[in-house]
Structures are given as structure tokens and as C-alpha cells.
Amino acid sequence: MTTDRLTGQSATQLADMLQAGETTAVALATHYLDKIQQHWDQSVFITVTRDRALADAQASDARRSKGNLLSPWDGIPIAWKDLFDTKGNTTTAGSIVYAKAKPATRDATVVAACRDLGLVCLGKTNLTEFAYSGLGLNPHYGTPVNPCSDAVPRAPGGSSAGSAVAVAAGLAPVAIGTDTAGSVRVPASFCGLTGFKSSQNRYSKTGVFPLSSSLDSLGPLALCVDDLIVMDALMRGRSAAPIVDVDLAGLKILIPETIVFDDIDADVATCFDEAVNRLRTAGIHVSRAPFPIFQQIMDLFAAHGTPTVAEAATFHGSLLASEQAEQMDQRVRTRMMTASGFSAQDYITLQWERERLQEEVAIALDDRCLLFPTVAMTAPALAPLEADDDLFATTNLKVLRNTMLGNFLGMPGVSLPIGVDTNGLPIGALISAPYGADDRILAVAKAIEPVMQIAAKD
């Protein structure tokens, strides 16, 4: 078969093609490696593991010929955000400070789980330095340009910028990111993808470079929810993902009217309302109401700061106090330095209140899911952000505002594409559930995805 038939296929579809003998793991790996090498934007990947990918693919084809597959996705290529250790490669965390650090001696736990189930490692993708921005800019390795850009180059969303661009540009069928305040869901929204932010402790984070230990979560970016569901299983070392059907007629969705619609772009609001109307037409019970918990979170942040800045500044304390701090992206350095006035009392208050609010959310929602725009705007132009630090800071806050609420509450969530604005830039909607309800939110996302896709095609 020609490699053209591989273009635009989801990982699930590629697995079916492997099973049917329509392609091979080596053909798949070669297809994506060649596309990465030939792609006009060489800032998407920081490290390409060509030798490992081809070796992995050859081993997969050998297993297939003997009927000894490790999982239904044996032979599927995958890309990892460069926060994940891969054996023999340096983990840069998007920073030149670590560009010459010692290579990892072993794979991160989730990388090893996927390796042991037959996935083929293409390499490691670019990100905002230390994963500390929702816009995806990186002055060290270049900023991957959003493949959905119009005539103006657009931000990819961050911090999992390279992972999102790799999938959206057809350089990988699936990629893994991390999400501390929106770093999977924001780039998913900006690049027209599905993206899953898990509950914080769903996957092992051993071998994953941290930003904020209490808020960091992991998750995949892909072309469809089916891919997210399979990846969720594989990342936990499971070869199969249970399929759970959700009755749309019994589904209840709450649209919170607090915070998340403030200063929203008109096109985003219109597109979201159209998607909601389609959900109602499909028989889903949708209601709107104030959601005061969101305001409580914003008030807490205003009074005490955020756990992210406190934990990031603590983790990077030695670097911030050293001469090497001059080598950092100064926008990242400036944000971390705001922790200088952060007290132990602030941190403890935030953690206590976080636990209380997580319990309140579970009670307030009961069997309902939350739905609102993933981001209040579409992907902004890159050049103005690179030229104006104040614009960068205000835009970054706006971009992360909706998603960071879910991180503080520990809520798993899926961003789904629901349409485009007048410039053709993607718009996403975020469906979320209380902490620990990962299986349910993935099932709900799968159930409503066809309705959202209809909206996206209009």
C-alpha cells in the first residue's frame, strides 16, 4: 500500500490496518520518521529516536508473524513530551540548561509500560521550558507553529506544544503530554484534537520531570476519543480497554456560568452554544447554573497564589539562585520568581481548601458532568506574543483560566473539537467529572463525540 493511505488515520484505524495485513510496523515507523525528517517545522521534536523506532518496529513485525502480539496496538508509533525519560536520551524539559545532562538510564514507568505492550517510540517532543506556560513558546528549541494556522502563524498551545503539533501535523498518530494547568487540553483545543487530562494519580509519574508535584497529571493527545481510551489503558500497563456505553438520554450535563465565560471570544461562545443545542437535540439533559466553587478558587489564588508557582520555584530553587538562571526563558524565570513572597501558611491553606473543594465538587455534581469551553479564545498569533512580554503574560492567564480550575479540583477531563472560528481556527469544549471518575469521563466523551463532530463539520 502507499504511505498516502496512512495519512490522517487514527491510531485505532492504523491498528486495524496492521491486523488486516494492510501495512507493517516497519512501514508505519518509516512513514512517520520520514515525515518528521521532511517536515518544514523542525522544532516539533527535540529528539528523534530513529534507531529505536525501527528496532521496535522490526521486533513488532516479528512478533506478528508468529502470532505473539503484546497488545492490539503492537506496532503503533507514539511520541513523548520531553519530560518523559527514554533510555539513552537526555530529558531536556525544554531547557538548554539540561541539554547536556546525562542520558536517562531507563524508560519512565509509563514509557516502559507502553514499550512492553509493543508501542514504537518515535522520539520526544518540544514544550515550553519546564512545562510552564499555556501558549507553547520556546526560545531555545523554537516554537512549533500550530498546523491549523491561517495566514498568520499561531501559537500551538502549551505546554505540550510539540505533542499536539506532532499529531495535528500527521507526524505521529498519538502523543503523550502532561497537564498541570491545562497543558494537554489547551493545545488539544488550539490544534483541533482530542486531549485527556487524567486525575493526578492515575498513572505513575516516575521518570517524568515535574513542574508541580501536587497538580501534575499525564495524558494523551489524539485524533479521536477511541485512541484516548486505548492509550489510557496502555499507560497503565493494560493491553485492553473496556468499552462502556453511555445512554445519551440518561446523561446529565451542567454548564457552569461562573468565571469560564468571562471575556470569551464571540466565535467561541457561538460555537459552544451550537454544540450545546446539538447535545440537547440528541436527548441529553443540559442545564446552566452558577458554580460558586469556581469563584472560590479564583479568590483563593488572588489571596494566596497558586500551588504551581510555589512548587515550581522550590523544585528549581538552586537553578534560580545560580548563574544558569540567565540561560532560562526569562518569561518562565519571571513567573517562578513571583513565589518569593509565598509563605508556608499560603501553601497549607491552598492544600486544605483544595481538599475541601474537591469534596464539594463531588457532592455538587452528583451524577452530572461539567461542560464549558476549553479555552475562552482561539490560538493567538505568535509574533505579538514573542515581542511583548506583558501581552504574553495576560494572554497566558486567559488561555489557562478555564482549564486550571480542573487541575486544582483534580478533575479528569477531555477536550473535544467542536468547530472553528471565522478564521478557521479550532475551538474545543471540555467535559469534566470529579476526581477519580476517569473511566466515566472517557466513556461520556466517547458518547458525545459524534454529536460534537457534527457541530465541527458545519
By annotation, the residues acting in catalysis are: 81, 159, 183
Sort strands 175-179 and 120-125 into parallel, antiparallel or unpaired: unpaired
Amino acid at 69: L
| Pairwise CA distance, residues 135 & 391, whole Å | 12
Which ranges in 179-316 belong to alpha helices (H)? Answer: 185-191, 225-235, 266-281, 292-304, 307-315
**Beta strand 252-256 with 369-373: parallel, antiparallel or unpaired?**
parallel
Opening angle at CA 231, ends 18 and 418, nearest 5: 100
Q: Say how far residue 63 (Cα) sits from the centre of its chain.
A: 31
CA distance 55 to 35: 18
* Residue (of 118, 332, 45, 326) closest to 211 by Cα position: 332
CA proximity to 59, closest of 25, 36, 34: 25
Answer yes or no: are the C-beta atoms of 124 and 44 closer than 8 Å: no
Q: Are 71 and 118 in contact (CB under 8 A)?
A: yes
- The residue type found at 456 is A
Those residues whose C-beta lies under 8 Å from the C-beta of residue 112, and which sit 6 or more positions away, are 106
CB 46, CB 162: distance < 8 Å: yes
How many beta carbons lie within 10 A of that of residue 273, not counting itself? 11
> Which amino acid makes up residue 9?
Q
Cα–Cα distance measured from residue 64 to residue 338, given in angstroms and rounded to the nearest whole number: 54
Distance between CA atoms of residues 182 and 426, nearest Å: 16
Q: Distance between CA atoms of 230 and 246, rounded to whole angstroms?
A: 17
